[in-house]
Amino acid sequence: MDMRMLVIFLQILVVSFEFAYGAVIDRNRAVLESRSNWNYDDPSSLWPVDFPMCGGEQQSPVNLDRLTVIEATYPKLMLANYDKVFVETLSNNGHTIVLQLPEILSSEEVPHLSGGGLPGIYNFDNLHFHWGSDSNRGSEHRISNQAFPAELHIVHYNQKYADLATASGFSDGIAVLAILIEVSARDNIAFRHIQHFEHIIHPEGSPTSNVPLPIPLEDLIPDDPDAFFRYDGSLTTPECNESVIWTVYETPIAISERQLDKFRELFTSGNIPMVDNYRPIQQINNRIVTYRSSTSEFHPFSRLTFRYGEARFPVQGICFVAAVSVKPAKPAPPDHWSYAERVHWKEHFSACGGEHQSPINLDFASAIAADFPSMMFYNYDQVLPEMLTNNGHTVMMSVKSQSNEDVPFITEGGLTDPYKFFQLHFHWGRDALSGSEHTINGQPYPAELHIVHYNTKYGNFSEAVAHPDGLAVLGIMIELQARDNIAFRHLERFDDILNPDSDKKSALTYPVPLSDLLPDRTGTFYRYNGSLTTPGCNEDVIWTVFDTPIAISQRQLDIFKRLIDSEGQQMEGNFRPVQELHDRVVYYRSEVSYKAL
What is d(CA 5, CA 239) in angstroms, rounded to the nearest whole number?
50
φ, ψ for residue 67 (rounded to 5)? -80, -20
Judge contact between 586 and 368, C-beta under 8 A: yes
Instruction: Look at residues 184, 165, 182 and name the one whose alpha carbon lies nearest to residue 174.
Output: 165
What is d(CA 397, CA 379) in angstroms, rounded to the nearest whole number?
16
Judge contact between 242 and 56, C-beta under 8 A: yes
What is d(CA 211, CA 97) in angstroms, rounded to the nearest whole number?
12
Judge contact between 399 and 386, C-beta under 8 A: yes
At 562, the amino acid letter reads R
φ, ψ for residue 233 (rounded to 5)? -150, -145
Judge contact between 389 and 505, C-beta under 8 A: yes
What is d(CA 403, CA 113) in angstroms, rounded to the nearest whole number?
41
What is d(CA 280, CA 220) in angstroms, rounded to the nearest whole number?
24
Catalytic entry in 153, 393, 450, 490: 393
Return the SS3 of 20: helix
* Non-local CB neighbours of 344 within 8 Å, separated by 6+ positions: none
Q: E strands along 93-166, which residues? A: 97-100, 112-115, 122-131, 142-143, 150-158
Return the SS3 of 177: strand
* Non-local CB neighbours of 189 within 8 Å, separated by 6+ positions: 219, 485, 486, 487, 516
* Non-local CB neighbours of 301 within 8 Å, separated by 6+ positions: 83, 218, 484, 489
Q: For residue 396, what are the CA distances in angstroms to 242, 386, 390? A: 52, 10, 6
What is d(CA 456, CA 464) in angstroms, rounded to the nearest whole number?
8
Does residue 393 carry a catalytic annotation? yes
* Non-local CB neighbours of 186 within 8 Å, separated by 6+ positions: 254, 256, 520, 551
Judge contact between 248 and 228, C-beta under 8 A: yes
Return the SS3 of 258: helix
* Beta-sheet pairing, 174-184 with 253-256: parallel
Counting beta carbons within 10 angstroms of the beta carbon of residue 475, is it exposed (0 to 12), middle (13 to 18) or buried (19 or more)? buried
Positions marked active-site: 393
